[in-house]
Structure 1
């Protein structure tokens, strides 16, 4: 279903300003990677472990947060989580959808986490082949050095680790081998360039999600980007005018590359079209801002085509 068709079927006032962080959906997940789940007889055998996870998620997600989870009555071995990118990171205001698939040996074996990446590698832990391996700092691992410990680690713990240790302000510094190098002028420079690249990919993913919201999250996607449209456009124009990638609005640091400014300018028309599809309003804010004339022509570039969604797998 297109965004326009969905929107015209929604009455005014249907989209809430606040969302329940955890609830059961009547529908089934539509992502092709979710067919990797075990047979139903195995699912029934591990139902107690899954129920324990669902109860823990419902408890942990009672207060408003940046993590939202949907469970499915028709497929209990699958969850869909969405993490909102945090301010001060190159992922800010983005939505990152992760499908959680409970495998046959759960809880002895960690669930499979599949990020809907739309073909973009947005983190050093996420490879183009689709596999993701977490190498977290010691404060996020157990004494054994592992990330998943049966009956101790929960799905909520992993989602928080992804939000705080993967989708963070300096993702390159958490790359295996790069951490040991320590802070230096060279490492800071490479991290700066990497953040620019990640932010561009994050903007493209926003466009993909708005053009085709994931099933069971249509209202959530439309409501989120309606609320954030003004901030996103203001920050994009600030980036074109020289704001450092990932610093967020209000930071006056003017450290940037010209390639980054050009790339952000080329993303603005696509974002504009996507915001128009969901009827987000931001013209009054954009008109009040000044865009560097040198990059104004870049906002009229042809539409960029994006590659289809590819699952990214996270193994313990």
Structure 2
């Protein structure tokens, strides 16, 4: 079976039967290789083929040059990590005068203030969200690659709560939003495994075979507050994190079904139990106490370095004198 390592980042395919914009009325210009729009889109293909990052994959269609499908892999350090986010794209008949239109495969969930349940994508670069002139679509410079990179960096980011223009500067609400986003990102994996988008079947299966253990292990760490939601696998250390009771309850309910779905998909999950184990509050307090002591010792070391070598020797000598009394 084709795996992700063999799955091309950019490819031309023939099956466009499940594309959201299949019925769009764009005339027949997309079959005219002499038209200006046709030539512009072919240039876009070349830009994507040569410049896509490791975390973005694109399929275009040989019979409908006006259609495109892309998937963005959720980045580490965000609540979207290990998730797959699919977008169907259509180029208008006056492209690049006007930007492409995007439809997000939401599965009925709102993953972000910029991504609606209806599939609408709000982004300045698409002229679907307000922004400064330099942030909006520029027919002479803007490209499809810029759109995908903007979604990856500006939308599927570390703290999506603050994408909401009226959001108050509340870290507590931001953490709660990350909890919600992680949960529905896990739920979306059920839908993707059950019915992966056409031409991405092998990719979806292989992705979740490889990432299943990491996703489930993250569930365990998040439920027990050992790491901030979104930061599993990152090279960061946190004190015990306060997570909401509703988040833990939903994770406990979600975990067994997720484990079963990943096993059916062929993932190797040795060492992971059938149930999500949540530590008692007493156990958490003990763990937190030990962690705080370690952190305090590290701080003391750094403080001592600030005194300089001579001062440290002086203090050590003084301590030695006290010990000998």
* Band the TM-score falls in, shorter-chain normalisation: 0.7 to 0.9
So what's the TM-score if we normalise by structure 2?
0.76
Distance, in Å, in 2 between the alignment partners of 1:143 and 1:208 is: 37
Residue 142 to residue 127, structure 1, CA distance change in 2 (3 Å) = closer
Distance, in Å, in 2 between the alignment partners of 1:285 and 1:174 is: 38
- Corresponding residue number in structure 2 for 1:209: 192
Distance, in Å, in 2 between the alignment partners of 1:224 and 1:171 is: 24
Aligned counterpart in structure 2 of residue 52 of structure 1, from 22, 40, 43: 43
Q: Which runs of 5+ in 1 are unaligned?
A: 1-9, 295-316
Distance, in Å, in 2 between the alignment partners of 1:17 and 1:219 is: 11
The 5-angstrom pairing of residues 20-59 of structure 1 reads 20-36=8-24, 38-41=26-29, 44=32, 45=35, 46-59=37-50
- Corresponding residue number in structure 2 for 1:116: 105
Deviation beyond 6 Å, 4+ runs, structure 1: none
Deviation per CA, 1:130-189: give whole Å up to 9, x if none: 4332258xxxx99724421103110000100000000001011122233xx5x4xxx111
Question: Going by fraction, where is helix more abundant, 1 or 2?
Answer: 2
Secondary structure of 1:197's counterpart equals helix
Deviation per CA, 1:169-219: give whole Å up to 9, x if none: 1011122233xx5x4xxx111111111111111111111101111110011
Secondary structure of 2:92's counterpart equals coil
Greater mean alpha carbon deviation, residues 236-245 or residues 196-205:
236-245
So what's the TM-score if we normalise by structure 1?
0.78
Residue 23 to residue 214, structure 1, CA distance change in 2 (3 Å) = same
Residue 77 to residue 234, structure 1, CA distance change in 2 (3 Å) = same
Contact 1:43 1:104 in 2 (8 A): no
Residue 171 to residue 142, structure 1, CA distance change in 2 (3 Å) = closer
Distance, in Å, in 2 between the alignment partners of 1:268 and 1:289 is: 7
Contact 1:69 1:79 in 2 (8 A): yes
- Corresponding residue number in structure 2 for 1:223: 206
Equivalenced residue count is 270
